[in-house]
């Protein structure tokens, strides 16, 4: 039976430190402003996708985290597929086209994230990046095709996951010019450490797609943000990254996150993605920086309550971790390793003792009477670093087995 090889890819999550919010062109996903992100290491967070085409399947199917999702009527997927097919050079496809049998080929796409979907951890970014990367293998997309522009049609922020390290999405003016470019590879500044403090793993109330267009239509602040604030800030950010100037980079990222959430609050009806725990984490970061006398920690929040915290190196990350674990303790129902999976790697008796004084100073700065009431306010804390772009995996890593191919009619 005519069946192609199975292709499997993995793709990373990216976290914007200059946010994208709002489209100028909702069809082509041309954003109101350029944006810039870190790519997170796939050792900790990733999407994985396997694809295969066969004439034996009755219909094309997409299975995401074990659940069958809409395929034929999913406009984003259809747009992506159409563009991939325009650039296809795979023999099976070109022959099928010649023989007018393209429609007989149906796809099976199986995809998994190893983190909670839609929890504000940008699963759509890694998901669409991974899907396009896998389809590009299946269809053998011609060399020189800018896959970031195709990923952008899946989900805007997905285009930034195409590269490792520090990546800008240049807003551009049309399909070809609205693409991702690498500002610096992960090796340029590999000491950066990231903590993700998960305040909720639930699905968000207002999707970024509808939230951002409500902001475009109703927020005056967003107009100023896109036309005046971001263009300047993006250039400053680019320089801060190239110069490895942590304090400037973190300062700009925190300002940008604050400004993005102000625009959400300025939207009619107002959108609030951050919650009480998010604001507590912001206060802890500010208190830490104040006690240290310079900016040694930064935060950024996407369209959800989870905090992405970043530090210049392991020493400052560990200092902050000692503070965070003390001020927002795990719930009594959790173990240390459930709360912070890398507990045994980073938290030793030493760490608590070593930073005892600093923790006390931050606690004083926050004017906290007790940390008891904060118990369990965070669901869990993840640790990661800046990492590389998507990869093609070996056949034996596939999410699709031969049995699947035989049985999935
Ligand atoms: O690509 P989308 O539609 O999921 O939008 C993402 C928007 C933010 O995550 C809030 C910001 C960004 O630049 O990633």
pLDDT value at residue 404: 78
Which two structure tokens, joined as six digits, stand for 27?
């069809």
| Rounded mean pLDDT, 167-173 | 98
pLDDT value at residue 369: 81
Check whether 408 has a pLDDT greater than 90: no
Which helix (H) or strand (E) covers residue 326, if one does?
Answer: helix 314-327
Q: In angstroms, rounded to a whole number, what is the distance separating the alpha carbons of residues 187 and 1?
A: 46
pLDDT value at residue 121: 66
pLDDT value at residue 114: 87
Which helix (H) or strand (E) covers residue 391, if one does?
Answer: strand 391-393
Answer yes or no: is the C-beta of 273 below 6 A from any ligand 1 atom.
Answer: no
Atom of ligand 1 minimally distant from the CA of 35? 13
Site to substitute for ligand 1 among 18, 302, 304, 308, most atoms within 8 A of C-beta: 302
Q: In angstroms, rounded to a whole number, what is the distance separating the alpha carbons of residues 252 and 166?
A: 15
Check whether 65 has a pLDDT greater than 60: yes
Name the nearest CA neighbour of 284 among 296, 272, 273: 296
For the chain, percent of residues with pLDDT exceeding 70: 96
CA 120 distance to own-chain centroid: 8
pLDDT value at residue 401: 83
pLDDT digits (tens, 9 = 90+) for 289-305: 999 999 999 999 999 99
pLDDT value at residue 327: 96
| Rounded mean pLDDT, 251-266 | 98
pLDDT value at residue 118: 42
Answer yes or no: is the C-beta of 38 below 6 A from any ligand 1 atom.
Answer: no
pLDDT digits (tens, 9 = 90+) for 354-386: 899 999 999 999 998 889 999 999 999 999 999
Answer yes or no: is the C-beta of 35 below 6 A from any ligand 1 atom.
Answer: yes
């Amino acid at each position: 039976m005519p069946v192609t090889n199975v292709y499997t890819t993995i793709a990373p999550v990216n976290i914007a430190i200059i946010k994208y919010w709002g489209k100028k062109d909702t069809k082509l996903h041309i954003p109101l402003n350029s944006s810039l992100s870190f790519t997170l290491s796939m050792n900790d967070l990733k999407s994985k996708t396997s694809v295969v085409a066969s004439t034996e399947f009755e219909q094309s199917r997409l299975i995401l985290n074990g659940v069958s999702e809409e395929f034929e009527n999913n406009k984003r997927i259809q747009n992506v597929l159409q563009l991939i097919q325009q650039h296809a050079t795979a023999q099976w496809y070109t022959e099928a086209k010649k023989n007018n049998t393209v429609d007989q080929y149906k796809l099976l796409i199986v995809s998994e994230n190893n983190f909670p979907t839609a929890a504000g951890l940008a699963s759509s970014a890694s998901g669409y990046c991974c899907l396009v990367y896998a389809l590009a293998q299946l269809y053998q997309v011609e060399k020189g095709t800018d896959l970031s522009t195709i990923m952008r049609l899946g989900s805007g922020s997905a285009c930034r996951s195409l590269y490792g390290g520090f990546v800008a999405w240049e807003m551009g003016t049309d399909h070809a010019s609205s693409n991702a470019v690498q500002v610096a590879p992960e090796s340029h500044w590999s000491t950066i450490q990231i903590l993700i403090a998960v305040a909720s793993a639930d699905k968000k109330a207002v999707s970024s797609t509808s939230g951002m267009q409500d902001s475009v239509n109703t927020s005056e602040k967003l107009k100023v943000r896109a036309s005046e604030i971001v263009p300047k800030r993006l250039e400053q950010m680019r320089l801060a990254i190239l110069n490895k100037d942590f304090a400037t980079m973190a300062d700009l990222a925190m300002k940008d996150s604050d400004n993005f959430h102000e625009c959400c609050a300025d939207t009619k009806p107002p959108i609030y993605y951050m919650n009480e725990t998010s604001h507590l984490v912001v206060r802890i970061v500010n208190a830490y920086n104040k006690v240290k006398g310079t900016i040694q920690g930064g935060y950024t929040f996407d369209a959800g309550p989870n905090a992405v915290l970043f530090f210049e190196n392991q020493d400052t990350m560990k200092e902050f971790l000692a503070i965070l674990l003390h001020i927002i303790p795990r719930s009594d129902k959790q173990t240390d390793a459930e709360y912070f999976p890398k507990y045994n790697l980073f938290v030793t008796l030493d760490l608590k003792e070593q930073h005892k004084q600093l923790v006390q100073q931050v606690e004083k700065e926050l004017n906290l009477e007790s940390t008891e009431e904060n118990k369990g306010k965070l669901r869990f804390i993840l640790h990661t670093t800046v990492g590389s772009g998507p990869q093609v995996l070996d056949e034996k890593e596939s999410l699709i087995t031969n049995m699947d191919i035989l049985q999935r009619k």
